[in-house]
């Protein structure tokens, strides 16, 4: 991943000062020469930063007087309300929509990718992992081509167990089953505890992957109201459990995709207790937990698991690369069934990926990588959010997540996100329409945008997208 250019770092610092009111609307920005001396950066860097802030509408140049803070600073819109999904279990049938949108467009490199929830493509870590894979292949010789089932990869499981301590879990390496990504982990956990026709409580909105697994296994979704900041509503969940027969609950506990919500520690503890009192297992997808923007990683619900009912799933797909296909499930009392399901469906995760990730973690590379991406993604997410606020109509609602790299945007009622998705494709831009995050069309006027691959072409893309949204909103 490229280092953020100096002028962008300067622009970020100035933006924070403007947002915090150090320079209020209409105030003169420091002179270019003075700031260059104070911050010990070149005059051309400061000028470039000022031009960038002018393009973002934060500064206005006045001939022979310098730069001034704009009088019309875009004000932050509120987050969407607590969601209000269908109160009854629903049959899942989203295959056609998912195939059309996810497989066809979000993987198309010719589009400006604000759609797929992939991490940044250019990363130092990818090159480091490639080197580690090459050296493992040399060292292992012919064995590199063999299966590496989970019984053979103790060092990776040990590293994940060590890493789990940051999420508040004390796990033994033997409790962890290595899977081909988090998706396979969640799917195997569902299969271990549910039978066709069963009902599964899920946060709403929730990433379409979950609906794929439910559909494949013939399970019904019971969507639970979810808050954009604090995640699943415990009151709504209790009501749902009282009124329905539910066999499992799935949450994306830390930085839900697409909402960005993070269940507070106290709520996680209550969630685990409540589900235990109904004897319902919790499948916890913690795939985004490492991408947090505070001083410590949020804990997992698994940290409060007293009797093995929480199945903690994760992977390296959101932090390193989805193509590694390395994930895990710490499935508590269901471990051996999950291990069997993993083995019987796909035998093992890729051998060289497993060896390289274990080595990368053991030499401290993963920790260092996480520090770097947290800085970069936080900044990219802020840039995307500012651009959306600036170029979209003022009556939108937008989340402000404390981790992950996704924004969830509620557009004016009249804007149909599928129509917008098609118009955006004409502009060469991929976005993800809200229709994919629920079984009904509850989120038909929502979209999800990904900030991880923010680039120079993304800002004009958001401007074009904003123009299209405004036209649609006017009717």
Ligand X SMILES: Cc1ncc(COP(=O)(O)O)c(C=O)c1O
- The least CB distance from residue 351 to ligand X, in Å, is 17
Nearer to ligand X, 285 or 438 (CB): 285
Q: What x/- string results for residues 115 through 154 when contact with ligand X is judged by CB under 6 A?
A: --x-------------------------------------
Task: Output the six-digit token pair for 63.
Answer: 């001939």
Beta strands in 235-371 (DSSP E): 248-252, 282-285, 310-315, 327-330
Nearer to ligand X, 117 or 376 (CB): 117
CA distance 257 to 208: 9
Q: Is 259 in the site for ligand X (CB under 6 A)?
A: no
Q: Is 226 in the site for ligand X (CB under 6 A)?
A: no
Q: Is 79 in the site for ligand X (CB under 6 A)?
A: no
Q: Is 252 in the site for ligand X (CB under 6 A)?
A: yes
- Name beta bridge partners: 179: 327
- The least CB distance from residue 419 to ligand X, in Å, is 24
Q: Is 349 in the site for ligand X (CB under 6 A)?
A: no
Using CB under 6 A, which of 128, 212, 267, 285 touches ligand X? Answer: 285
Round to the nearest angstrom and report the end-to-end CA distance of the chain.
41
Q: Is 322 in the site for ligand X (CB under 6 A)?
A: yes
| SS3 assignment for 238-251 | HHHHHHCCCCEEEE
**Cβ neighbours for 206, distance < 8 A, ≥ 6 positions apart:** 223, 226, 250, 252, 256, 257, 437, 438
Using CB under 6 A, which of 77, 80, 115, 183 touches ligand X? Answer: 183
- Name beta bridge partners: 62: 66
- Name beta bridge partners: 220: 91, 199
Nearer to ligand X, 50 or 437 (CB): 437
Q: Is 257 in the site for ligand X (CB under 6 A)?
A: yes
Q: Is 354 in the site for ligand X (CB under 6 A)?
A: no
Q: Is 181 in the site for ligand X (CB under 6 A)?
A: yes
Using CB under 6 A, which of 132, 148, 190, 207 touches ligand X? Answer: 207
Answer yes or no: are the C-beta atoms of 398 and 410 closer than 8 Å: yes
Stretch that binds ligand X, among 227-235, 263-271, 302-310, 314-322 (CB under 6 A): 314-322
Task: Output the six-digit token pair for 346.
Answer: 């796909």
Measure Cα distances from 412 to 385, 393, 397, 422, 474 in Å. Answer: 17, 8, 9, 17, 10
Q: Is 105 in the site for ligand X (CB under 6 A)?
A: no
| Count of beta carbons in the 10 Å neighbourhood of residue 24 | 10
| Count of beta carbons in the 10 Å neighbourhood of residue 418 | 17
Stretch that binds ligand X, among 176-184, 329-337, 413-421, 433-441 (CB under 6 A): 176-184
Applying CB under 6 A, the residues found at the interface with ligand X are 117, 181-183, 207, 209, 252, 257, 285, 287, 315, 317, 322, 327
């Amino acid at each position: 991943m490229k280092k953020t250019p100096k002028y962008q770092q300067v622009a970020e610092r100035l933006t924070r000062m403007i947002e915090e009111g150090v320079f209020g609307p209409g105030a003169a920005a420091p002179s270019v020469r003075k700031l260059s001396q104070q911050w010990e950066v070149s005059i051309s860097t400061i000028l470039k930063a000022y031009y960038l802030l002018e393009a973002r509408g934060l500064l206005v140049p006045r001939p022979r007087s310098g730069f001034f803070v704009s009088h019309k600073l875009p004000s932050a819109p509120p987050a969407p309300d607590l969601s209000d999904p269908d109160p009854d279990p629903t049959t899942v049938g989203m295959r056609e929509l998912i195939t059309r949108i996810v497989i066809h467009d979000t993987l198309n490199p010719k589009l400006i990718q604000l759609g797929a929830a992939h991490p940044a493509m250019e990363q130092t870590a990818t090159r480091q992992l490639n080197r580690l894979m090459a050296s493992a292949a040399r060292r292992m010789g012919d064995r590199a081509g063999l299966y590496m089932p989970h019984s053979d990869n103790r060092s990776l499981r040990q590293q994940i167990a060590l890493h789990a301590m940051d999420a508040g879990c004390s796990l033994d390496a033997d409790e962890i089953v290595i899977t081909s990504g988090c998706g396979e982990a969640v799917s195997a956990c569902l299969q271990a505890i549910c039978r066709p026709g069963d009902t599964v409580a899920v946060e709403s909105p929730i990433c379409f992957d979950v609906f794929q697994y439910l559909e494949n296994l013939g399970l019904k979704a019971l969507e639970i109201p979810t808050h954009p900041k604090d995640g699943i509503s415990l009151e709504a969940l209790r009501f749902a459990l009282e009124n329905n027969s539910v066999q499992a609950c799935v949450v994306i506990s830390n930085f839900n995709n697409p909402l960005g919500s993070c269940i507070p520690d106290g709520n996680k503890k209550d969630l685990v207790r409540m589900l235990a009192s109904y004897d319902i297992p919790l499948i916890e997808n913690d795939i985004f937990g490492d991408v947090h923007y505070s001083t410590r990683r949020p804990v997992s619900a698994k940290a409060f698991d007293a009797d093995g009912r929480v199945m903690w799933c994760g992977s390296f797909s959101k932090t390193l690369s989805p193509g590694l296909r390395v994930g895990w499930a710490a499935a508590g009392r269901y471990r051996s069934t999950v291990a069997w399901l993993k083995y019987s469906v796909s035998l093992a995760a890729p051998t060289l990926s497993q060896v390289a990730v274990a080595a990368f973690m053991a030499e401290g590379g993963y920790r260092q990588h996480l520090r770097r991406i947290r800085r970069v993604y936080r900044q990219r997410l802020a840039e995307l959010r500012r651009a959306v606020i600036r170029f979209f109509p003022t009556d939108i609602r937008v989340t402000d997540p404390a981790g992950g790299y996704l924004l969830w945007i509620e557009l004016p009622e009249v804007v149909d996100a599928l129509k917008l998705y098609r118009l955006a494709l004409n502009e060469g831009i991929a976005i993800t329409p809200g229709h994919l995050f629920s079984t009904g069309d509850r989120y038909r006027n929502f979209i999800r945008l990904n900030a991880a691959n923010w680039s120079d072409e993304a800002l004009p893309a958001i401007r074009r997208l904003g123009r299209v949204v405004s036209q649609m909103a006017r009717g």
